[in-house]
């Protein structure tokens, strides 16, 4: 999601993305997941994000976004974009029904920063000795919002992680609303049960820091609180993910953001077998 006014887009070639090689397309029935390779596909991604973030979730567009009905920024020009395609809808822009934006360190260096740095101190991520990947801009069309699409996106992420030997992933996930007290039980639960280890824990910038420990959760049912979390946050936690210290209020998107960190070993362990099977079947 955009947390600042969009800047002029950088010049980009007909072929997009930071990745010279890919993992092909992974299939699950009529759905497939792969990386975007053309400007036409990038435009479809930006149109999908606009429909979900602005039309559906009520985010406030700037003038350019409202005119173009596209959610876009400079990070799009250097990132890789994971696509879920519904082949029953043909091969046009309407067939793109899910997406995730993937930014590796070399791509962030072209922009001068990672996107998450607008909300969090990610210096510990930058100092991490392995290869790092920022995840963001995840969305799925309303008609395809379900377990199968999200699992396919995660299979694509696992394949991308394996392709580039990624060691650590991070990014932001959102809770609905901008009143942290309305999310008090969820924020407190995340801090008390899933706070990242000190050596990889991002912290909200001082001017944006919102305390996550908002209630005494003694006697509350952690399982009930976990079940109430947004699906994307639960997905990170199921993979052994952590959260950073401090939430951030995003008034433009009417959300309360939390930083997430995932060591990729668990991701690849769970999903790489699907990727390897697909590769064998393709040979």
Do the domain assignments include residue 201?
yes
Look at residue 21 in the predicted model and tell me its pLDDT: 61
Which residue shows structure tokens 């919102």?
210
Residues 124-161 have pLDDT tens digits of: 999 999 999 999 999 999 999 988 898 899 999 999 99
Do the domain assignments include residue 9?
no
Treating both helix axes as pointing N-terminal to C-terminal, what angle do 231-238 and 147-164 enclose, rounded to 10 degrees? 50
Look at residue 23 in the predicted model and tell me its pLDDT: 84
Number of domains comprising the chain: 1
- Structure tokens belonging to residue 12: 């980009």
Residues in the chain: 283
Do the domain assignments include residue 246?
yes
Look at residue 265 in the predicted model and tell me its pLDDT: 81
- Structure tokens belonging to residue 10: 């950088």
Q: Return the closest-CA partner of residue 187 out of 197, 173, 169.
A: 173
Do the domain assignments include residue 16?
no
Provide CB contacts within 8 A for 201, sequence distance 6+.
124, 195, 242, 244, 245, 261
Q: Can you give the residue range of the structural domain that contains 171?
A: 26-282
Do the domain assignments include residue 12?
no
Give the three-class secondary structure for 227: helix
Give the three-class secondary structure for 71: coil
DSSP 212: S
CATH classification of the domain holding 84: 3.40.630.30
Which residue shows structure tokens 């899910």?
98
pLDDT along the chain (283 residues), means of 10: 36 50 87 95 97 92 95 95 96 93 96 96 95 96 91 92 94 94 97 96 98 92 93 90 97 93 79 52 46
Strand duo 31-35 + 80-86: pairing: antiparallel
Do the domain assignments include residue 4?
no
Do the domain assignments include residue 21?
no
Q: Return the closest-CA partner of residue 180 out of 109, 254, 240.
A: 254
Q: Return the closest-CA partner of residue 154 out of 43, 275, 250.
A: 275
Provide CB contacts within 8 A for 73, sequence distance 6+.
2, 6, 7, 9
Sheet strands (E) in 105-131: 120-121
- Structure tokens belonging to residue 72: 């876009």
Cα(247)–Cα(211) distance, integer angstroms = 7
Do the domain assignments include residue 176?
yes
Q: Which helix (H) or strand (E) holds 222?
A: helix 222-228
* Exposure string over 67-79, b if 16+ CB within 10 A, otherwise e: eeebbbbbbbbbb
Which residue shows structure tokens 């995660």?
154
């Amino acid at each position: 999601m955009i947390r600042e006014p969009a800047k002029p887009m950088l010049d980009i070639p007909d072929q997009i993305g930071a990745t010279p090689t890919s993992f092909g397309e992974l299939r699950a029935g009529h759905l497939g997941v792969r990386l975007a390779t053309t400007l036409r596909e990038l435009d479809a991604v930006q149109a999908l994000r606009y429909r979900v973030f602005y039309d559906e979730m009520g985010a406030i567009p700037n003038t350019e976004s409202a005119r173009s009905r596209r959610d876009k920024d400079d990070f799009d020009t250097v990132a890789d974009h994971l696509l879920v395609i519904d082949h029953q809808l043909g091969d046009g822009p309407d067939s793109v029904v899910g997406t995730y934006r993937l930014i590796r360190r070399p791509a962030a260096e072209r922009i001068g920063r990672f996107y998450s740095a607008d909300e969090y101190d990610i210096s510990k991520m930058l100092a991490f000795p392995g290869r790092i990947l920022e995840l963001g801009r995840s969305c799925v069309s309303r008609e395809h919002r379900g377990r199968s699409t999200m699992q396919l996106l995660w299979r694509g992420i696992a394949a991308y992680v394996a392709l580039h030997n990624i060691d650590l992933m991070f990014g932001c996930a959102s809770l609905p609303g901008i009143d942290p007290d309305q999310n008090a039980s969820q924020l407190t639960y995340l801090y008390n049960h899933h706070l990242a280890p000190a050596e990889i824990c991002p912290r909200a910038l001082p001017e944006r820091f919102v305390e996550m420990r908002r209630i005494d959760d003694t006697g509350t049912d952690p399982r009930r609180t976990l079940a109430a979390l947004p699906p994307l946050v639960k997905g990170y936690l199921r993979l052994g993910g952590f959260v950073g210290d401090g939430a951030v209020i995003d008034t433009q998107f009417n959300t309360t953001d939390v930083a997430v960190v995932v060591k990729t070993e668990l991701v690849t362990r769970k999903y790489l077998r699907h990727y390897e099977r697909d590769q064998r079947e393709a040979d």
